[in-house]
Structure 1
Amino acid sequence: MSKVMDALAPTLPFDHDAIREKYQAERDKRVRTDGEAQFNAVDVSGEYAEYLTHDPFAPQPEPREALTDTIEVAIVGGGWVGLMLGARLTQQGVTDFRIIDSAADFGGTWYWNRYPGAHCDIESYSYLPLLDETGYVPRERYASAPEIFEHAQRIGKHFDLYGKAVFQTWVTEARWDEDARLWTVETNRGDKMRAKYLALATGPASRPRLPGIPGIHDYQGPSFHTCRWDYSVTGGAPGEPMTDLADKKVAVIGTGSTGIQAIPRLAQDAGHLYVFQRTPSSVDFRNNRPTDPEWAATLEPGWQKRRMDAFNAAMLGAGPIDGPEGDFTDDGWMRPIQSVTGLAAQLDDPAVLGEPGELDDLIDLSDDQTMERIRARVDSDITDPAVRDKLKAWYKQFCKRPTFSDEYLPTFNRDNVTLVDVAESKGIDRIDATGIVANGEHYDVDLIVYASGFEITSDFKRRMGIPVFGSDGQSLYDHWGDGMRAFQSHSTYGFPNMFIVGGLFPFGFGANYCSSVDDISGHVAYIIAEADKRGASRVEVTQETENGWVQTQVDSDGGIAKNLGGAETSCTPGYYNQEGAEVKSRNWKQEQYWGTVIEFGRLLQDWRTDGKLEGFNLR
């Protein structure tokens, strides 16, 4: 046993080894031989295309003339990534660009996510981008979906992006023309536009994921994915009662971060709600509250960047939790580091943490402490002992994305809510014309809601859905046959004048996705502007540079991932570990930047400060 275990384990009110045995047993219940393929059986670009192409929030697009002009930058995606890149390009003086998106407005995931109860789970002062630039302060600490969508529109108006956007338009192919040194971008609207630069800003959560349950196509009643919420079926609107569900039996499949938010609202309005769960989420306190207007009045220019940096540093233990830029002491993302520092303070000799393996053991014990507290919350909130046991999360906290809610757990005390746990059978048996069969029992339902999230780790080509061809007609996906590879997560050899901006790549450990996207959007905007200043028509990362970057990631020990738990084979199945598959379809070692979001931002800043565009061939 390690020194940390010897010193701390006897003082703690739980048995570390017993917890790990329980984790393994619960994992074994849920691991399936088909791994991630259980979701690949339903293709939302094929037989189930209505789940991807149907827009319940806008009418069918009006016919328009096909675009065949030449622009400087084609940005594929109008969510946070496309909006931030458009804003940063504008600030760099690059204004000849076009944003192409399949939705009818800006917002990306937050255009589509209008399900009841939808909120961000990162504090909105750090999460919502470009607050400082647009002069806006969110109304709540954790903004609701309608407010988030409004802010996406605010950014579009502030930076005059609506005049540069084409909506309800799908990119069907992007191909590099070496002779012209231009990209040809084709769409489902007959467009064949040309662009000097191509920016793939599709984001990581753009493709709905449906579970491959046998008979999913047999159901005869209404059904939809949460990102295509159909209020014509439920009645009401975001923030309003769903009046048409009062006498209906509703089934929700999925209890991740989406289900945690939607289920309490459905329970209030449905005649009866069946919640189908394979793996419970860890549910910590949210502690939402209105923004203090007096605090908002004190904010000075640059406040959001300072707060973003403070949030990232506090979460990673690199800065104070209650510093001058933000008091995060009751923020759920900070509780793990608070547990780590609390236990470390109990050591007689903290220097022992510098010895091999000791910090890992400290983090393991602090995770036990955090998860025991979360499981104890289930005991205090749930009245039925049988339901309590089913709602307890038996895995390390970061095996799955943590969730935060003050309404979810009490929902299961309602008489009109039934929890159907399908862990023992590793999922729902089947769906038929009138309902769902689970654990051998049939549930007649009037509506099925799929709260099954997005495809985060599926095949690259399937997830992005756009054929991309670079030099010599090479497919991007063939180039990525052994795993994604791109210098600084944005540029890949053989695909000149193309940038991947905050979409497919993870760029460092941290919870606030928008912070990293802002870093990389500003970085790519800088490269484009600098290349223009230097008169370059062709910008390509060298093969040596790309190989060197990838090898650095492969050689990393991945220690942060191990400590968080997401990369361990002991984790319960989820998208972090590709549903627990023994043989991985994705080479995370090659793709992931194995440092923190703070380190990634500094790396990019130092590279820009150097000013040499190191690693690129400019011609």
Structure 2
Amino acid sequence: MPVPIPNVDPDKLADVRKRYAEEANKRLRPEGLAQFQPLKDANDERLRALSDDPWADHDALNAKPSPIDNNATYKFFVLGAGFGGLVYAVRLIESGLATANEIRLADAAGGFGGTWYWNRYPGLHCDLESYIYLPLLEETGYVPTQKYVAGYEIREHAERVARHWKLTNKALFRTDVKTAEWNDQTELWTVKFTEKRGPSAAPRDYVIRAQYVYLAAGVLTRPQVPKIPELLSFKGPTFHTARWDYKVSGGSQKDQSLTGFRGKKVAIIGTAATAIGAIPEIAKYAEELYVFQRTPAYVKPRNQRTTTPADWNNVIATKKGWQAERVANWNRHLTNSVRPGERNLVADGWTDQPAYSAILGSPSHGVIGASPENIEKHVTNFHAYDLPNMETIRANIERIVKDPDTAEKLKPWYPSWCKRPTFSDIYLPLFNEPHVHLIDTNGQGVNRATEKGLVVGDTEYPVDIIIFSTGFQAPAARLGSPAARTGVKVTGRKGIDLDEKWVSKGAATLHGYATSEFPNLFFSGTAQATITGNNIWMLSLIAEHVAYWISEAERRVGPGKRAIVEVTKEGEEAHTAEVVKRAPFFAAIAGCTPGYFNAYGEAAAITDPAEKAKRARGSTWSEGALSFLDYLQKWRDEGSLKGLKVTAAKGPRSLL
């Protein structure tokens, strides 16, 4: 049923929306995504080196036998050893589709964990309740130590999952997968990659074949920096939070004594989720801390607490299936679809912002008509839902931050759905400290760098160290192409290039996870699928659905044969039509302040109807994750695997 619209003063709402538009326009830049430099692709070695792996133990890894044999053939090849790849491998094993020995994983990192391998900055904690974020808690029996666990505990859980399902020696790390090419003669994928073995050993090139390939590389793995003029003139240490340099800061991820900052003037550029965690830790040690802000964060209280045995046994893990029930309950509260009398089990800062479903989707609004009148009414309603929440956020800043000018600059003037919320009980009070300086750039960013520091407007701020907290390449790059997101050239039947197909025609998938002309290739993502706010839960849903496809295909071709699963053109276009029909729901995102969700404003700059239609094909399901799961279940229940073509390979199964 529709969510009741709050009684909001229309004049006040109009004034706030005008302010939102002014703030968004101030930050729009014609370069869009091109205003950033992905570190891995930088021409300059100094910048490119900032993306190097600081955590890999090359000697230990080189001493181990390789888990992958050159020129071998494997049943399942998984690109990514973060939670997406791990959960997929677990689903294959648990469903009986594979033994651990039939699975191989490859990852650019030096170990398991994905984004939790790379990110080890001080203050790193999960921004979602650990009990719903960490996967497979029931199966492993693990009890998180806190409601919001620290980053190292999440990485340790990834390693725990790998051990539990005997995958530890099935992953090749430090690996750049370069190409994946379908071979119509062998009816297998040929995958080429290079293992980088550190400075003291030569790289190894591999060529393998695989029956099934899964692209599980995440979106928070390709760090970027803004293209600041004269950046390379700065003489002091520089690093990105996703490759934190403890040699400069002192300490370690578990011992966050950042003694290297003592007596130093430290600059941090960026104020999104990462910075909210790192800034308080830097401030404990730095002589002076300069926080360079383009857009203020949307900060809510964290309310951290320790997990007690009583809470765990009596409130949280009370019955079999508790984790699935808890995450579904949480999602219903985020998507305005709470059942009558349903209790809020998680009761966190995510579940008290009714308008955040503007980006996640909601079943409570139906399919929004594409007429300008329908869209304007829909967007206005969401602003009305959101206004009380954002007014509370801004009032909280006024209450905490003593200096009125600083408080005003810290206020987020955008709707809640434009940015991922951040959570901290200590970030805002820091700006009452005399050695913490907010350098607000009025939406423009840093103007340039010098040998000694950074310049905003006409003022130079001398600093000793620059830290970039400027995030990652947005998933909308190349229209969200799975090939671009993973950095792999993927070639299907008749030499079709996956990236080129995506960019020239827009997204075309069945359920978001496979596309025609690319047999036995699957990928994770949100385009034409769903977004949940809890990425690992979403990855679990994808893994389960893809495993179902493969299981059904193998059952239908029968024992002793190799199955080929391929999306039909009719199937992907039928699903695309369902997605496009629902795309107007997300109209409110286009007016957001530039950021990760709207490709830094690129969407707002597009006026060509054909290009708009192409991008609409990459929308997510507008009725929320649980509605999307119902949609998938109805497809399964129908029984014909509509939209999929299943055949038996000509060659024998013994090729594997």
TM over 0.5: yes
Match for residue 575 of structure 2? Answer: 549
What aligned pairs does 1:394-543 form with structure 2 within 5 A after superposition? 394-423=413-442, 426-456=444-474, 457-459=476-478, 460=481, 462-481=484-503, 482-500=505-523, 502-503=524-525, 505=527, 507-535=529-557, 536-543=562-569
8 Å Cα contact 2:105-2:172 kept in structure 1: yes
Query: C-alpha separation between the residues in 2 aligned to 1:52 and 1:176?
Result: 31
Match for residue 347 of structure 1? Answer: none
Query: C-alpha separation between the residues in 2 aligned to 1:320 and 1:288?
Result: 27
Query: C-alpha separation between the residues in 1 aligned to 2:400 and 2:52?
Result: 40
Q: CA deviation at 1:485?
A: 2.2
Query: C-alpha separation between the residues in 2 aligned to 1:248 and 1:241?
Result: 14
Match for residue 184 of structure 2? Answer: 178
Q: CA deviation at 1:484?
A: 2.6
Match for residue 346 of structure 1? Answer: none
Bigger shift: residues 399-408 or 107-116: 399-408
Match for residue 337 of structure 1? Answer: 354
Match for residue 202 of structure 1? Answer: 217
Match for residue 199 of structure 2? Answer: none
Match for residue 193 of structure 2? Answer: 187
**Gap change, CA 1:160 and 1:322, over 3 Å in 2:** farther
Match for residue 53 of structure 2? Answer: 54
Which residue of the other structure, out of 597, 608, 615, is the alignment partner of 1:576?
597
8 Å Cα contact 1:321-1:327 kept in structure 2: no
Match for residue 603 of structure 1? Answer: 631
Query: C-alpha separation between the residues in 2 aligned to 1:216 and 1:278?
Result: 17
Match for residue 13 of structure 2? Answer: 16
8 Å Cα contact 1:181-1:537 kept in structure 2: no
Which residue of the other structure, out of 318, 321, 334, is the alignment partner of 1:315?
334
What aligned pairs does 1:13-412 form with structure 2 within 5 A after superposition? 15-40=12-37, 44=41, 46-47=43-44, 48-59=47-58, 61-62=61-62, 67-93=70-96, 94-95=98-99, 96-188=102-194, 189-239=204-254, 240-298=256-314, 299=317, 300-319=319-338, 323=342, 327-329=345-347, 331-337=348-354, 361-412=380-431
Deviations 1:409-435 (A, max 9, x none): 0111111111111125x1111123322
**Gap change, CA 1:163 and 1:606, over 3 Å in 2:** farther
Query: C-alpha separation between the residues in 2 aligned to 1:436 and 1:294?
Result: 51
SS at structure 2 position matched to 1:262: helix
8 Å Cα contact 1:277-1:421 kept in structure 2: yes
Please list every run of 5 or more consecutive structure 2 residues that lacks an aligned counterpart in the other structure: 195-203, 358-367, 648-656
Deviations 1:336-385 (A, max 9, x none): 22999xxxxxxxxxxxx9x9776754432231111111000110110111
8 Å Cα contact 2:38-2:472 kept in structure 1: no
Structure 2 counterpart of 1:35, which letter? G
Q: CA deviation at 1:387?
A: 0.6
Percent identical: 37
SS at structure 1 position matched to 2:352: helix
Q: CA deviation at 1:257?
A: 0.8
**Gap change, CA 1:293 and 1:440, over 3 Å in 2:** same
Query: C-alpha separation between the residues in 2 aligned to 1:276 and 1:418?
Result: 9
8 Å Cα contact 1:43-1:49 kept in structure 2: yes
Query: C-alpha separation between the residues in 1 aligned to 2:356 and 2:225?
Result: 36
Query: C-alpha separation between the residues in 2 aligned to 1:281 and 1:338?
Result: 17
Query: C-alpha separation between the residues in 2 aligned to 1:338 and 1:166?
Result: 42
Structure 2 counterpart of 1:15, which letter? K
SS at structure 1 position matched to 2:289: strand
Query: C-alpha separation between the residues in 2 aligned to 1:55 and 1:486?
Result: 37
Deviations 1:118-172 (A, max 9, x none): 1111111111111111111211111210111111111111111112211111111
Bigger shift: residues 573-582 or 530-539: 530-539
**Gap change, CA 1:401 and 1:513, over 3 Å in 2:** same
Query: C-alpha separation between the residues in 1 aligned to 2:88 and 2:533?
Result: 20
**Gap change, CA 1:506 and 1:420, over 3 Å in 2:** farther
Please list every run of 5 or more consecutive structure 1 residues that lacks an aligned counterpart in the other structure: 341-352
Query: C-alpha separation between the residues in 2 aligned to 1:553 and 1:44?
Result: 33
Match for residue 613 of structure 1? Answer: 641
Q: CA deviation at 1:483?
A: 2.3
**Gap change, CA 1:45 and 1:193, over 3 Å in 2:** farther
Query: C-alpha separation between the residues in 1 aligned to 2:583 and 2:487?
Result: 32
8 Å Cα contact 2:145-2:306 kept in structure 1: yes
8 Å Cα contact 1:435-1:442 kept in structure 2: yes
**Gap change, CA 1:321 and 1:308, over 3 Å in 2:** farther
SS at structure 2 position matched to 1:190: strand
SS at structure 2 position matched to 1:33: coil
Q: TM-score, normalised by structure 1?
A: 0.90
8 Å Cα contact 2:448-2:454 kept in structure 1: yes
Match for residue 591 of structure 1? Answer: 618
Q: CA deviation at 1:102?
A: 1.2
8 Å Cα contact 1:284-1:374 kept in structure 2: yes
SS at structure 1 position matched to 2:266: strand
Q: CA deviation at 1:463?
A: 3.4
8 Å Cα contact 1:339-1:366 kept in structure 2: no
Bigger shift: residues 426-435 or 268-277: 426-435
SS at structure 2 position matched to 1:558: helix
Query: C-alpha separation between the residues in 1 aligned to 2:25 and 2:356?
Result: 28
Question: How many matched pairs?
Answer: 592
Query: C-alpha separation between the residues in 1 aligned to 2:190 and 2:178?
Result: 11
Query: C-alpha separation between the residues in 2 aligned to 1:492 and 1:303?
Result: 34
SS at structure 2 position matched to 1:36: helix
8 Å Cα contact 1:122-1:512 kept in structure 2: yes
Query: C-alpha separation between the residues in 1 aligned to 2:38 and 2:78?
Result: 30
**Gap change, CA 1:507 and 1:58, over 3 Å in 2:** farther
Q: TM-score, normalised by structure 2?
A: 0.85
